[in-house]
Amino acid sequence: MQSFELDKTDILKIKQALEGEEHDLLLLLEDYHASEIAIIFESLPLESQKRIINLLPIDLASEIISEMNPEAHPEELLIELEPERRQEIVEELDYDDAADIISQMDKDDQHELLEDLDKEDASNIRNLLTYHEDTAGGLMNTQVIKVNSQMSKKQAIDQIIIQSEEIEEFYTIYVVDSDDVLMGIVSLKDIIKSKANATIADLLNEDFVYVKADVDQEEVADLISQYNLTSIPVVDANMKLLGRVTFDDVIDVLEQESTEDMLKISGVSEDEELSGNWVEAVKSRLPWLILNLGTAFLASSVIRYFEPTMTKIVVLAGYMTIIAGMGGNAATQALAVTVRRITLSDLTDNQAYKTVLKELTVGLINGAVNGLIVFAFAYFYDDNLLLGLVIFIAMTGNLLIAGVTGAGIPLLLKRVGIDPAIASSIIITTFTDVFGFLLLLGLASKLLL
Amino acid sequence: MQSFELDKTDILKIKQALEGEEHDLLLLLEDYHASEIAIIFESLPLESQKRIINLLPIDLASEIISEMNPEAHPEELLIELEPERRQEIVEELDYDDAADIISQMDKDDQHELLEDLDKEDASNIRNLLTYHEDTAGGLMNTQVIKVNSQMSKKQAIDQIIIQSEEIEEFYTIYVVDSDDVLMGIVSLKDIIKSKANATIADLLNEDFVYVKADVDQEEVADLISQYNLTSIPVVDANMKLLGRVTFDDVIDVLEQESTEDMLKISGVSEDEELSGNWVEAVKSRLPWLILNLGTAFLASSVIRYFEPTMTKIVVLAGYMTIIAGMGGNAATQALAVTVRRITLSDLTDNQAYKTVLKELTVGLINGAVNGLIVFAFAYFYDDNLLLGLVIFIAMTGNLLIAGVTGAGIPLLLKRVGIDPAIASSIIITTFTDVFGFLLLLGLASKLLL
């Protein structure tokens, strides 16, 4: 398979085939990987998705459903299927994927679906549903390859072959004692390379990374990324092995966290679905805009306070918007760099202090350079040296404040345990608006009147 | 090892130990994983890093250097070491890691270092240095596990055991013909499960994903993420196997791309290092701020044009900043959602059209709600119904424009092949500033004078 990009011709072809014979549709679908069909589903109505899922063999149908983006709502597709077909598909899913999808259904649908399942499957899925979806427990799959430390090389290989019937991909073999307590890990390579009379206990690697089930998914992702792990074992409070989280789950978590950061600093609620409809978008953004409206009134009250000054020097209105706008943009720059840095690594107090100092310096320099440009404009165009000086000071001061608040506020929030990304541009620009107006109009009223 | 978080006590302990006996320092360092020491290095001066690297066994020293964040400049540390020590460490590195680090040195240092190396190592690293660092070739490691399709089960297992001496982790075994042309993949599990008289050709899986060496790293990351691969083979134009890119390289690429997106839409150059110094930050941000200054002059020229109106209705100055600020924030919201969505998946024309329509609707509703609030203020506080109406229309119109440009401009850029994330908030807020002032002041001059 060559590196592959879906385009609209793929979707068109499938839409046409949906109008025609089943046989031709099946033939066409053979060209696609399950994850590609899952992407194509995002452009198809529920009715067409249902038709394709009913047509395909169970293993492929279930793989497509497990690959569907949560925002494409695979749970709605499942609910639409005939109970028998649905049951077959869910039983083919990995437990963690099944639990993720079922957790999005309402309680009645969950109950109905789980009732129909094989008892063991249902109990495993119910168990996974008890973990919070943002934790190691919520991410993990309970199907792992595990061997007992007392096994011989031969016994272990036999066990691995049997267990691997159920698990398509495995990277690490977990070693447990008779109570299922995790003792260490071993690789298939080491087992094969070992002498014929070796036991698993001889090969055991006890220096391994693990997580408790209630650990936050972001921390799980950081560990997998930091230690370059393909999978990480999940244990309960007594070190009993519960399951594993694999690198591919973590790639999804990392993308999700980056999306949330980017949305939050732009004043969008983190749970707005990127492809959601307008109702959702209004719900997610209107509260932030109304908050912004409150802060904008605050800034405009500064202007009202200086109305007498403005009436006498009308040209200030034009400069006002320049200084506030520049402050807002400089603050957004400092904010983006700082929030992203905090997300990727924890900063020591000393590093935090140096970061604020750096942003102060950057603000001072960028403020002075831009201040000089505006000074020149005021001097040559408006022919007013003193006005130019006032504007220069206001610009420099405002960009300095922009740097300090843009870096300082997220660092402060992190310090007191609040998510630094909620220091959105909306909050930060309040400072630069209010401070910019105060500096410009305050100085103007003292020096120019 | 329990899930682990470094804190300042770790750094303090190591700083103290650096003052004391070598023996105690070594004892303390034993508690840390290479990737942890790599993080601690970010808080240590070059001199201390050098001391630790010289003290530790070669394999650990080289692992620490390969784990160091590029922003912590491992190449500078390498240059500081004695030539012999440096050579030992580089020879212990994976070729791709060595090439990544060496590519950051200037040409003279590169030359000096490569001269000292074993000929084969030097030639492999030189070869990797010819690929652009943002491509599959730049990311790949040339050390892979590969077997010939003609081999028997026993021959293949022997080969894998020999080759795996050099390669600590492998996930997929590549199958090549006698010209090193990639024919397919096979898993160690399948080889072990096969009958004793099987050959590799019997077990070959020909349905696999691969990339050419010049493919962009972002596409490599998307493929690994979409198909849940642990590694992807890299081939030349004749399908000759060159190397492999592994999932852990891709996790780094994904984080880097997310960082770049977040910086770009905030008006920061994508190559600003998050932990860079103030000189770098000024260089990266000042051009954007000067661009913004230009657009701010444009917006302020609208205000100057309407100076007569402003002189007569001074209260407009306060409302002006509210309407422009709200427009800017609403545009930033639409921008963040749209840019992130484009990054995560390609949109069809139909989806793009629907996205703009959705943002138009969201802008209209959010504009009307906020417009009503400001209308009420103008009516009750300033006691001016007509002014309230003008403000209501200006707010609604400006947030509508904010939605359309915030979503439309990045989609348009993507369409013509330009990176949509350069549609930074700086560009977008120009529209909302200019349009907001035009609407408010234009309507006021027609209706209120």
Same domain, B303 and B431: yes
Confidence of residue A297 (pLDDT cuts 50, 70, 90): very high
Answer yes or no: is A261 within a domain.
no
CB atoms within 10 A of CB B354: 14
Instruction: Report the candidate in B165, B249, B147, B248 with the shortest Cα–Cα distance to residue B205.
Output: B147
> At which of B231, B246, B261 does a domain end?
B246
Place of tokens 């230690």: A227
DSSP A117: S
The Cα–Cα gap between B195 and A340 comes to 52
B346 and A251 in contact by Cβ < 8 A? no
pLDDT (0 to 100) of residue B196: 84
Q: Does B212 touch chain A (CB under 8 A)?
A: yes
Residues 6+ apart with CB under 8 A from A160: A145, A147, A173, A188, A191, B189, B192
Suggest the residue from B252, B290, B300 to mutate for an interface test with chain A (most A CBs closer than 10 A). Answer: B300
Dihedral over alpha carbons B334, B340, B346, B350 (to 10 degrees) = -10
Whether A146 shows a pLDDT value over 80: the answer reads yes
Task: State the CATH number of the domain containing residue A335.
Answer: 1.10.357.20
Q: A40-81: per-residue pLDDT in tens?
A: 888 888 999 999 999 999 999 999 999 898 888 999 999 999
Whether A5 shows a pLDDT value over 70: the answer reads no
Confidence of residue A152 (pLDDT cuts 50, 70, 90): very high
pLDDT (0 to 100) of residue A3: 38
Same domain, A122 and A159: no
Write out chain A residues lying below 8 Å of B328, CB-based: 325, 328, 429
Answer yes or no: is B222 within a domain.
yes
Same domain, B98 and B228: no
pLDDT-above-70 percentage for chain A = 98
The Cα–Cα gap between A223 and B24 comes to 28
Element (H, E) at B117: none
Q: Does A322 touch chain B (CB under 8 A)?
A: yes
> At which of B191, B224, B246 does a domain end?
B246
The Cα–Cα gap between A220 and B261 comes to 24
Q: B20-54: per-residue pLDDT in tens?
A: 888 888 888 888 888 889 888 888 889 999 999 99
- B361 phi and psi angles, rounded to 5 deg: -60, -45
Q: Does B64 touch chain A (CB under 8 A)?
A: no
- Least confident residue range of A4-18, A413-427, B268-282: A4-18
Angstrom distances, CA of residue A10 to CA of A20, A37, A60, A77: 16, 10, 19, 21
Confidence of residue A305 (pLDDT cuts 50, 70, 90): very high
The Cα–Cα gap between A234 and B33 comes to 20
Write out chain B residues lying below 8 Å of A219, CB-based: 3
- For residue B34, the chain A residue with the least C-alpha distance is A227
Give how far the C-alpha of residue B67 lies from the chain's centroid of Cα atoms, to the nearest Å.
17
A270-291: average pLDDT: 88
Element (H, E) at B234: strand B231-235
Answer yes or no: is B136 within a domain.
no
Average confidence score pLDDT of chain A: 89
The Cα–Cα gap between A157 and A172 comes to 13
pLDDT-above-90 percentage for chain A = 47
Same domain, B123 and B151: no
List of chain B residues with pLDDT < 50: 1-4
pLDDT (0 to 100) of residue A2: 41
Which one of A215, A314, A362 has the shortest CB-CB distance to B311? A314
Answer yes or no: is A157 within a domain.
yes
A1 and B228 in contact by Cβ < 8 A? no
Answer yes or no: is A122 within a domain.
yes
Q: Does B113 touch chain A (CB under 8 A)?
A: no
Give how far the C-alpha of residue A354 lies from the chain's centroid of Cα atoms, to the nearest Å.
28
Alpha helices in B81-206 (DSSP H): 83-92, 95-102, 107-116, 119-129, 136-139, 153-163, 188-193, 200-203
Long-range contacts: B127-131, Cβ < 8 Å, 24+?
Answer: B128/B95, B128/B96, B128/B98, B128/B99, B129/B99, B129/B102, B129/B103, B131/B213, B131/B214
Same domain, A219 and A315: no
Same domain, B123 and B154: no
Task: State the CATH number of the domain containing residue A162.
Answer: 3.10.580.10
List A244's β-bridge partners, or say none: A141, A233
pLDDT (0 to 100) of residue B1: 42
Long-range contacts: A306-313, Cβ < 8 Å, 24+?
Answer: A306/A437, A306/A441, A306/A442, A306/A444, A306/A445, A307/B314, A307/B315, A307/B317, A308/A445, A309/A441, A309/A444, A309/A445, A309/A448, A309/A449, A310/A441, A310/B314, A310/B317, A311/B311, A311/B314, A312/A449, A313/A387, A313/A444, A313/A448, A313/A449
> At which of A201, A222, A246 does a domain end?
A246
- A27 phi and psi angles, rounded to 5 deg: -60, -40
For residue A267, is it left (φ>0), alpha (ψ between -120 and 50) or beta?
A: left
Same domain, A284 and A419: yes
Angstrom distances, CA of residue B331 to CA of A431, B106, B270, B429: 20, 43, 21, 7
Same domain, B155 and B108: no
Count structural domains, chain A: 3
Same domain, B238 and B178: yes
Token representation of residue A76: 């709605």
Give me the helix-helix angle, A217-226 and A247-265, nearest 10°: 120
Count interface pairs A-B at CB distance under 8 A: 351
Q: Which residues of A239-259 are buried (b: 16+ CB within 10 A; e: fewer)?
A: bebbbbbbbbbbbbbbbbbbb
- B172 phi and psi angles, rounded to 5 deg: -135, 140
Token representation of residue B164: 């795996």
Same domain, A283 and A229: no
A3 and B210 in contact by Cβ < 8 A? yes
B3 and A212 in contact by Cβ < 8 A? yes
Angstrom distances, CA of residue A365 to CA of A71, A170, A328, A387, A404: 45, 54, 16, 21, 13
Angstrom distances, CA of residue B301 to CA of A317, A318, A344, B419: 10, 7, 42, 30
Instruction: Report the candidate in A1, A54, A57 with the shortest Cα–Cα distance to residue A32.
Output: A1
Q: Does A2 touch chain B (CB under 8 A)?
A: yes
Angstrom distances, CA of residue B333 to CA of B405, B410, B415, B429, B430: 11, 13, 21, 11, 15
The Cα–Cα gap between A447 and A380 comes to 19
Q: A216-235: per-residue pLDDT in tens?
A: 998 899 888 888 888 899 99
Write out chain B residues lying below 8 Å of A160, CB-based: 189, 192
pLDDT (0 to 100) of residue A6: 65
Residue B342 belongs to domain spanning = 278-447
Element (H, E) at A118: none
pLDDT (0 to 100) of residue B5: 57
Instruction: Report the candidate in A335, A298, A345, A331 with the shortest Cα–Cα distance to residue A420.
Output: A335
Place of tokens 């083919």: A92
Instruction: Report the candidate in A138, A373, A235 with the shortest Cα–Cα distance to residue B3.
Output: A235
Whether A34 shows a pLDDT value over 60: the answer reads yes
A274 and B341 in contact by Cβ < 8 A? yes
A297 and B322 in contact by Cβ < 8 A? yes
Answer yes or no: is B256 within a domain.
no
- Least confident residue range of A358-362, A394-398, B77-81, B341-345: B341-345
Whether A377 shows a pLDDT value over 70: the answer reads yes
Same domain, B170 and B101: no
Residues 6+ apart with CB under 8 A from A346: B5, B6, B7
pLDDT (0 to 100) of residue A9: 80
ipTM of the complex: 0.79
Element (H, E) at B168: none
List A243's β-bridge partners, or say none: A234
List A146's β-bridge partners, or say none: A174
Signed CA dihedral, B434, B436, B442, B445: sign only: negative
Task: State the CATH number of the domain containing residue B19.
Answer: 1.25.60.10
pLDDT (0 to 100) of residue B419: 84
DSSP state string for A365-432: HHHHHHHHHHHHHHHHTS--HHHHHHHHHHHHHHHHHHHHHHHHHHHHHHHTTS-GGGS-HHHHHHHH
pLDDT (0 to 100) of residue B6: 65
A317 and B326 in contact by Cβ < 8 A? no
CB atoms within 10 A of CB B68: 24
Quote the minimal CA–CA distance from A337 to chain B in Å.
Answer: 6
The Cα–Cα gap between B301 and A317 comes to 10
Answer yes or no: is B267 within a domain.
no
Suggest the residue from A15, A153, A300, A433 to mutate for an interface test with chain B (most B CBs closer than 10 A). Answer: A300
Write out chain A residues lying below 8 Å of B332, CB-based: 266-267, 425
The Cα–Cα gap between A126 and A110 comes to 10
pLDDT (0 to 100) of residue A418: 86
Instruction: Report the candidate in A105, A107, A43, A39 with the shortest Cα–Cα distance to residue A78.
Output: A105
Whether A38 shows a pLDDT value over 80: the answer reads yes
Same domain, A30 and A61: yes
